[in-house]
Amino acid sequence: MVKTSVARDDNKKNSSDETVVVSMEHVNKWFGQFHVLRDINLRVVKGERIVVCGPSGSGKSTLIRCLNRLEKHQDGDINVHGIELNNDVKNIDEIRREVGMVFQHFNLFPHLSIIENCMLAPIWVRKTPRAEAEEIAMHFLTRVKIPEQALKYPGQLSGGQQQRVAIARALCMQPQLMLFDEPTSALDPEMIKEVLDTMVELAEDGMTMICVTHEMGFARKVADRVIFMDEGQIIEQNEPEAFFNNPQSDRTKLFLSQILGH
Amino acid sequence: MVSNGTRKERATATNNESAFIRQEDAPILPPPITSAGVAGWLNDNIFASMLDFSTLGAAVKSILMAIFTAFVAYIFFDQVYGLLDFAIFSAVWQDPEEQKRQVCWTIEQGGKLPNGWHGACWPYIIAKTKFILYGAYPNESLWRVNSTYLLGAILLVWVMIDRLPYRKLVGAVLLTIYPIFATVMLTGGGFGLSQFSVGVNTIIGLALISLGRAGKMGWITGPFLDLSKMAGVAGWFFIFFAAALVSVGVDFDLSKVDTRDWGGLLITLVVATTAIVVSLPLGILLALGRRSSLPVARTLSIIFIEFWRGVPLITVLFMASVMIPLFMPEGVNFDSLLRALIGVTLWQSAYMAEVIRGGLQAIDKGQYEGADAVGLSYWQSMRLIILPQALTRVLPGIVNTIISVFKDTSLVSIVGLFDLLGATQATIADAAWSTPVQASTGYLVVALIFFVFCFGMSRYSMYIERKLDRGH
């Protein structure tokens, strides 16, 4: 399903300086009375590819949405790209500039053409000159292999194409970290591959990625680390080989048996 | 890829009914004649319901439908003919002998027209055209009104035609310089320069703009950055206001025309365009305010909207014309047109705000998150992402509100302003033209003028809707 072998080890050796891109310390969050994130501790270094999995409602989407303040955590420290994530709007803006996000339902801007979707943030947030923004947009649209759709509108594209545009849109800001929130869950089966291929290529280029996904094939081939969450906690994390072949926790075993068992 | 072939297909395994392998593709055929082209349209839309005689029930239904269709068509054409007959075929067009009302009298009534005649009396309208369109505006100054109309029309059409260059610039002129120009031309200007108010506005404006600059240069940071940006924008409003004060203050040597002499279509257009143009941005701000997470902005917006929406327009106008002068210190006299203008505009803003809020609510949460995630600020995401979509969705509602206020301007006649309807009614009271068809003719003209404007707006909004349709 997914391209084979991403140069996992090379990447790790290269990042010997271990720049920490994300650090979460004792992060807690509640939705009303519901304790949705419970004492989350996570460190992600530059170039690392993390896959977060777990049953629905386990808080995995909330976890990554806390990293760019789409959700506000109530307790604990989050540090992204060296910037403390607190109520300071300036910090939040700075973090959002460095963090790209891809959503389950794409969230493209339907009133703008594909290329305008990609140029918008560079022009308005990074203050890139228009011509340069267009160049950047075309570069990344070419990378996700849909430069020919640049002048169409999102409504005219297939789901897989839209999701690739969403990836290109995030890349146009040239982020340090990419967050993927179930990027293939809303796609028809025949379109999942094209999106995963794009993500694999991105991983090969050394992008730091945190992916919430149920694509276990992708996790096996790309991830440096797989994190399993349940009931708002990180239950188990390990390298994919060990995680899939030799899960330690009963909850992990149960989860894996359910998603791999058919 | 697909080729024409015969309809003949064979199941390869004859024993097994459920197994089937297609040998040849089924042909791609044009649609039957009854569902395409003119014949198809007529069939679908008119005859399909009348031509089915396959069963007794269907036959009865078809006959009833045919009778009903003929009946409706008869009523329609009869009415249209009646209207055309009144307005054109039977109408009196000329009054060469200057008989005034007698030109539209029948023999019975003392005139020359055959008894039982019923038609429009156009000489009456021709004689009253000036009053219906301009009220008591002095004749020698009508060129000022006409040139204001002409310039406004040119600028508006320029903005509306997509292919023309500099549309944004022309739009900016239309919203800034043109209103000042119109005010000076219509009133005559020369209200006198209050150096104090101009000075205060200029100083506040410059101060706010430099605050905004400081924010841009990075000298202001943290939570005050947004405030400084807003101050920068607000500063330009003060500068604009100062410029407006200077423009209407300077004496251009035009004769003054008191707004009491304004009337007819002029009042209708002035009140309607002001209300429409001001209420749209005000309504957007109120709608955003009502959905804001800032308690102050939210509370103020809710109070404003609920107050103005809770009061009938007539009450607003009465309050504006009767109550406000009571609260004013003696000698201060607000222009009555200005009072009505402010009343109608604020009242309209509340309605506009609620229409736009409906649009904001229809926008998917993912759009807000998408805009946040790429790092757009609140105002950027509103301006670039949310509002364009929200306004497009509620365009029919916005145009509905605009058309509605255009017609509601007739209510200003109750506070002594002669709008299109009021002015026409005044001419109907003129005994010199008193005939049995006088009122019908007058109201027909009012209806026609209103219809032309409202229908124009309606069609233009449909064009915009089609243009903004992105196929989602």
- pLDDT mean by block of 10 residues, chain B; 472 residues: 46 63 88 72 74 84 89 95 92 85 86 87 91 91 93 93 89 90 87 81 89 79 73 88 85 85 92 93 95 92 95 90 77 79 93 96 95 91 94 93 93 89 91 89 94 94 87 58
CA distance A260 to chain B (A): 31
Q: Given the DSSP bridges, would you call strands A49-53 and A208-212 parallel, antiparallel or unpaired?
A: parallel
Amino acid B52: pLDDT: 76
Amino acid B105: pLDDT: 87
Contact flag B374-A155 (C-beta cutoff 8 Å): no
Do the Cβ atoms of B369 and A103 come closer than 8 Å? Answer: yes
Provide, as residue numbers in chain B, all residues whose Cβ is less than 8 Å from the Cβ of A182.
none
Contact flag A170-B373 (C-beta cutoff 8 Å): yes
Q: CA-to-CA distance for A250 and A203, rounded, in angstroms?
A: 30
The pLDDT tens digits of the residues spanning A84-134 come to 998 888 889 899 999 999 999 999 999 999 999 999 999 999 999 999 999
Q: CA-to-CA distance for A123 and A143, rounded, in angstroms?
A: 20
Q: At what angle do helices A159-171 and A130-143 cross, to 10 degrees?
A: 130
Hey, what's the torsion of the CAs at B179, B180, B184, B185, to 10 degrees? -40
Residues of B with a Cβ under 8 Å from any A Cβ are 221-223, 225-226, 364, 366-367, 369-377, 380, 384-385, 388-389, 392, 468, 470-472
- For residue B343 the two structure tokens come to 């009343």
Which one, of B260, B393, B426, lies nearest residue B333 by Cα?
Answer: B260
Q: CA-to-CA distance for B259 and B419, rounded, in angstroms?
A: 12
Amino acid B150: pLDDT: 95
C-beta atoms surrounding B224 within 10 Å? 13
Higher pLDDT, A228 or B96: A228
Amino acid B384: pLDDT: 94
Amino acid B228: pLDDT: 82
Instruction: Give one DSSP letter per residue of A100-119, joined into a string.
Output: EEE-TT----TTS-HHHHHH
A170 to chain B, any CB pair closer than 8 A? The answer is yes
Do the Cβ atoms of A134 and A77 come closer than 8 Å? Answer: no
Which one, of A179, A115, A70, lies nearest residue B368 by Cα?
Answer: A70
Instruction: State which H helix or E strand residue B362 sits in.
Output: helix B336-362
Do the Cβ atoms of A220 and A196 come closer than 8 Å? Answer: no
Contact flag B392-A110 (C-beta cutoff 8 Å): no
Q: Which amino acid is at B175?
A: L
Give every CB contact of residue A154 below 8 A, 6+ residues apart in sequence. A106, A108, A109, A110, A112, A114, A117, A162, A165, B470, B472
Hey, what's the torsion of the CAs at B67, B70, B73, B74, to 10 degrees? -100
Amino acid B305: pLDDT: 96
Task: List the single best residue of A64, A89, A111 to mutate versus B (max B Cβ within 10 A).
Answer: A111
The pLDDT tens digits of the residues spanning A183-213 come to 999 999 889 999 999 999 999 999 999 999 9
Place of tokens 């409202």: B454
Q: What is the mean pLDDT of chain A?
A: 89
Amino acid B472: pLDDT: 53
Amino acid B2: pLDDT: 45
Helix (H, G, I), strand (E, B) or coil at B164: coil
Instruction: Give one DSSP letter per residue of A132-197, joined into a string.
Output: HHHHHHHHHHHHTT-GGGTTS-GGGS-HHHHHHHHHHHHHTT--SEEEEESTTTTS-HHHHHHHHH
- Neighbouring-strand partners of residue B100: none
A69 to chain B, any CB pair closer than 8 A? The answer is yes
Provide, as residue numbers in chain A, all residues whose Cβ is less than 8 Å from the Cβ of B366.
103, 105-107
pTM above 0.90, yes or no: no
- For residue B463 the two structure tokens come to 């064009």
Task: List the single best residue of A103, A124, A152 to mutate versus B (max B Cβ within 10 A).
Answer: A124
Q: Which amino acid is at B34?
A: T
Q: CA-to-CA distance for B230 and B296, rounded, in angstroms?
A: 16
Rounded to 5°, the CA angle B5-B11-B12 comes to 110
CA distance B365 to chain A (A): 9
Which one, of B269, B288, B266, lies nearest residue B277 by Cα?
Answer: B269
pLDDT value at A10 more than 70: no
Helix (H, G, I), strand (E, B) or coil at B113: strand
Do the Cβ atoms of A14 and A20 come closer than 8 Å? Answer: no
The number of C-beta contacts closer than 8 angstroms across A and B is 79
Among A70, A106, A124, beta carbon nearest to B384: A124
**In sequence order, which ranges of B363-437 are alpha helices (DSSP H)?**
365-373, 378-381, 387-393, 395-408, 420-428
Q: CA-to-CA distance for B368 and B377, rounded, in angstroms?
A: 11
Q: CA-to-CA distance for A256 and B153, rounded, in angstroms?
A: 70
C-beta atoms surrounding B469 within 10 Å? 12
- Work out the pLDDT band at A6, boundaries 50, 70, 90: low
Q: CA-to-CA distance for A116 and B468, rounded, in angstroms?
A: 15
- Work out the pLDDT band at A262, boundaries 50, 70, 90: low
Contact flag B471-A70 (C-beta cutoff 8 Å): no
Contact flag B376-A120 (C-beta cutoff 8 Å): yes
Residue of A nearest to B365 (CA): A107
Contact flag A90-B222 (C-beta cutoff 8 Å): yes
Q: CA-to-CA distance for B151 and B167, rounded, in angstroms?
A: 15
Give every CB contact of residue B10 below 8 A, 6+ residues apart in sequence. B23
Do the Cβ atoms of B311 and B347 come closer than 8 Å? Answer: yes
Higher pLDDT, A177 or B101: A177
